[in-house]
């Protein structure tokens, strides 16, 4: 469960902070706790915490104190916490990440990559005992080894998303339509949202349509034996193409209408060629045109021959088909 912190969470936050950092002298993380942090609870145990603060030396938001209980690390809790915390945040966000000298990556490097933070300053601060770090390993820092101990602070930035986008609401659009005596329509609403509904309009209107590129139903309705579910979805991309992609095939503009491979149909072989079946897709149309061209020079008729009956010409056709597919005829 993820929720915002309250003033009553001071003891829980203090326990987790001291467990992770062992810094008993810094009281700032426990001040102004109302809505300051996002807390992740597993059962009744506080396992992770983080937050966003505007009390930063930078002009934008900054990630507040962040830590995970040592016994609950590498379980994805902090990833869920960041997803919840940054879900509706479109402003720039800074994050100062701690790094040990024998490590090329900051402690939150994976999270920074997942949530599109970029390193802007490496070693922004170089801490060293006793020059500018006055903590000691007796209750000051869990990693401190005494005189000469050092670590670094790297700065990451998640740039502002959609800097020119502003929120608007339906009641604002409606009020502007009423003020300018404009009837309701999608086009008129769009003009009102621009803030310039009286602009001279073009005579051309562009309409766009979103084509389906994937099956939304994950499993087929009918279950397999033992209650197993059969997948209803083809791969999203097959040989570089998606459903409804526009392609050029043999000089003709076509659309990908299926991710299924073309199948062999012994009945259709003759009926497509003889115009008894309608050739609906590109494969059958190409095949029908090929037979039509062949009939200019010879008489082509279709009859079904029983497989593996030692028919000379059936065996020859079988060998040709296997050869085209690179299969040995032996």
Write the pLDDT tens digit of every residue in 161-179. Answer: 777 777 788 888 999 999 9
Q: Count CB atoms within 10 A of the CB of residue 191.
A: 20
CB contact at 8 A, 154 and 127: no
Classify burial at 287, counting beta carbons within 10 Å of its beta carbon; exposed 0-12, middle 13-18, buried 19 or more. Answer: middle
pLDDT of residue 329: 61
More confident residue, 3 or 226: 3
pLDDT, one tens digit per residue, over 125-134 is: 888 887 777 6
CB contact at 8 A, 287 and 272: yes
Architecture of domain 2-158: 3-Layer(aba) Sandwich (3.40)
More confident residue, 265 or 108: 108
CB contact at 8 A, 46 and 2: no
pTM, entire model: 0.50
Q: In this structure, is the dihedral angle defined by the CA atoms of residues 28, 32, 33 and 35, taken in order, positive or negative?
A: negative
Q: List every span in the chain annotated with CATH 3.40.630.30.
A: 2-158
**CA distance linking residue 6 with residue 81, whole number of Å:** 17
């Amino acid at each position: 469960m993820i929720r915002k912190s309250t003033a009553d969470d001071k003891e829980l936050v203090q326990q987790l902070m001291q467990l992770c950092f062992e810094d008993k002298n810094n009281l700032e993380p426990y001040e102004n706790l109302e809505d300051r942090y996002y807390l992740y609870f597993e059962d009744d145990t506080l396992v992770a915490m983080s937050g966003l603060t505007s009390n930063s030396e930078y002009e934008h938001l900054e990630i507040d104190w962040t830590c995970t209980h040592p016994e609950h690390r590498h379980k994805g809790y902090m990833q869920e916490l960041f997803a919840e915390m940054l879900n509706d945040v479109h402003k720039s966000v800074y994050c100062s990440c701690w790094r040990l000298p024998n490590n090329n990556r900051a402690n939150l490097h994976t999270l920074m990559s997942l949530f599109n933070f970029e390193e802007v300053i490496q070693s922004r601060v170089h801490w060293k005992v006793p020059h500018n770090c006055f903590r000691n390993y007796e209750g000051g820092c869990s990693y401190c080894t005494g005189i000469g101990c050092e670590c670094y602070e790297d700065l990451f930035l998640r740039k502002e998303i959609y800097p020119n986008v502003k929120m608007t609401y339906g009641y604002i659009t409606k009020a502007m339509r009423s003020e300018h005596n404009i009837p309701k329509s999608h086009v008129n609403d769009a003009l009102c949202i621009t803030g310039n509904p009286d602009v001279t309009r073009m005579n051309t209107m562009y309409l766009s349509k979103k084509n389906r590129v994937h099956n939304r139903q994950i499993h087929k309705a009918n279950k397999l034996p033992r209650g197993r579910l059969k997948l209803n979805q083809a791969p999203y991309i097959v040989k570089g193409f998606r459903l409804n992609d526009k392609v050029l095939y043999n000089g003709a503009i076509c659309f990908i209408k299926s991710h299924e491979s073309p199948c062999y149909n012994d009945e259709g072989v003759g009926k497509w060629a003889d115009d008894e079946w309608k050739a609906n897709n590109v494969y059958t149309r190409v095949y029908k045109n090929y037979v039509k061209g062949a009939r200019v020079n010879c008489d082509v008729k279709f009859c079904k021959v029983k497989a593996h009956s030692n028919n000379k010409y059936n065996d020859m056709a079988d060998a040709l088909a296997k050869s085209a597919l690179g299969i040995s005829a032996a």
